[in-house]
Structures are given as C-alpha cells and as structure tokens.
Amino acid sequence: MALCLKQVFNKDKTFRPRKKFEPGTQRFELYKKAQASLKSGLDLKAVVQLPPGESINDWIAVHVVDFFNRINLIYGTMSEYCTEKSCPIMSGGLKYEYRWQDDSKYKKPTKLSAPQYMCMLMDWIEMLINNEDIFPTRIGVPFPKQFQQVCTKILTRLFRVFVHVYIHHFDSIINMGAEAHVNTCYKHFYYFIREFSLVDHRELEPLKEMTERICH
C-alpha cells in the first residue's frame, strides 16, 4: 500500500543532520527566495534562473546545499531496498558503472557496492559544504577560484544517485507513493544544471530518454 507523501518525506531518514543556512545571512535570504519560487508553482525552468543583481556563486551554493539535502533524503527513504545483496555494484543498468575515488582512502577509481558508494558520497559532500574555505558563510569572504569546478563534481555525483534510483529502485519509489515528488526534484535539478552548464552532457546519457519525456 502506498504511503502518504507527507509521511514518507517527513521521516528522519537522512544519514546525517541537514546542512542549514544561518538566518540573517544573504545566503539564507537567497534560499528563502528560491523556496518561495518553488512553492508558488512557477515553471521550474524560470525558477532556476539567477535573480537580477544576485551573485552566481551564492546562487549555485544555495542550490548545491539544497540538492544535497533533498537527494540525501530521497535515497534515505528507499535505502532499505538498496543493499549489498541487491546492489553489489554502484551502477545505472548494465551499461553504466560508477567507481569511487577521493583524495584520501580511495586514490584510484574503486568498485564499491551502491550502499557503500552512497555513504562515501554523502560524507564527501558534507565535508565539502561544511568547509569554510570552499563554501564560505562569513560576509565579505570570497568563494575560491575552483568553486564552480568543485560544484560540478558534487552535482555530477549527485546525478548518479538519480540514475541508480530511477533505474534500479523506481518500483520502490512508486510503491511509496513518491513518484511525483522524485520527478519534481529531478526536473528541478536537471533544469538547474542545464541552466548553468554544470554537468557534462555525457553524464546525462543514462537518463536521456526519461529526461526527454518529463523535462519539456
């Protein structure tokens, strides 16, 4: 029996405390503006556009953190169905396999199960967005030169979560009654990365047919 959407997405199934924006900061005001646009039912293509007079890096930072929270929660709601046994390889069907690499434990691309990959990914993103040298929160502190490059890497890896969920676990999403919510999150994410060319088009291939169907 399908679960009520509110019940599903209010459950505290995230892996860790959610990153939040401090009230009173410019980033918090931008976040509120973005959320208000989403709730108003505007065209998602319009919602992702940079508001006049705002900093592009601030806008990207707000969305990267928000997408991290949302996608972390989406995966958390169906993680019980994604196990070492069901998903021994982090993949998107038979054609796409994703290996993990970072600058510490896994210095070479390493084959991991999907649950292991997801855990490494969320820890890695959390570390980056909490790093003041990369995602500064203090007024007057500039973003580093490589900021957008880091965001591209984060968003590329978050896209792979959608790939795995849609290809391997969409039946579970449907059974939970969460299909419409996940589709809306995906469309918001997709329009944002396309608006600012933040993910290479080759990375988008695994969901190309579905994207053409739901993202007009």
Residue 23 has a pLDDT of 56
* DSSP secondary structure code for residue 204 in this structure: G
**Tokens describing residue 182:** 């996940």
Q: Is 181 annotated as a binding residue?
A: no
% the chain with pLDDT above 70: 81
Residue 42: give the domain boundaries.
Answer: 1-8+30-215
Tell me whether residue 18 is in a domain: no
Query: What CA–CA distance (Å, rounded) separates 173 from 150?
Result: 30
Q: Is 185 annotated as a binding residue?
A: no
* pTM summary value: 0.84
Q: Is 82 annotated as a binding residue?
A: yes
Whether the CB-CB separation of 177 and 5 falls below 8 Å is answered with yes
pLDDT, greater one: 34 or 120: 120
Tell me whether residue 15 is in a domain: no
The domain that holds 97 is classified in CATH as: 1.20.140.30
pLDDT (tens digit, 9 = 90+) per residue, 53-80?
989 999 999 999 999 999 998 898 888 9
Q: Is 168 annotated as a binding residue?
A: no
Q: Which residues of 47-81 are buried (b: 16+ CB within 10 A; e: fewer)?
A: bbeeeeeeeebbbbbbbbbbbbebbbbbbbbbbeb
| Mean pLDDT of the 169-194 span | 91
Whether the CB-CB separation of 63 and 71 falls below 8 Å is answered with no
Output the average pLDDT for the chain: 84
Give the total number of structural domains in the chain: 1
Tell me whether residue 25 is in a domain: no
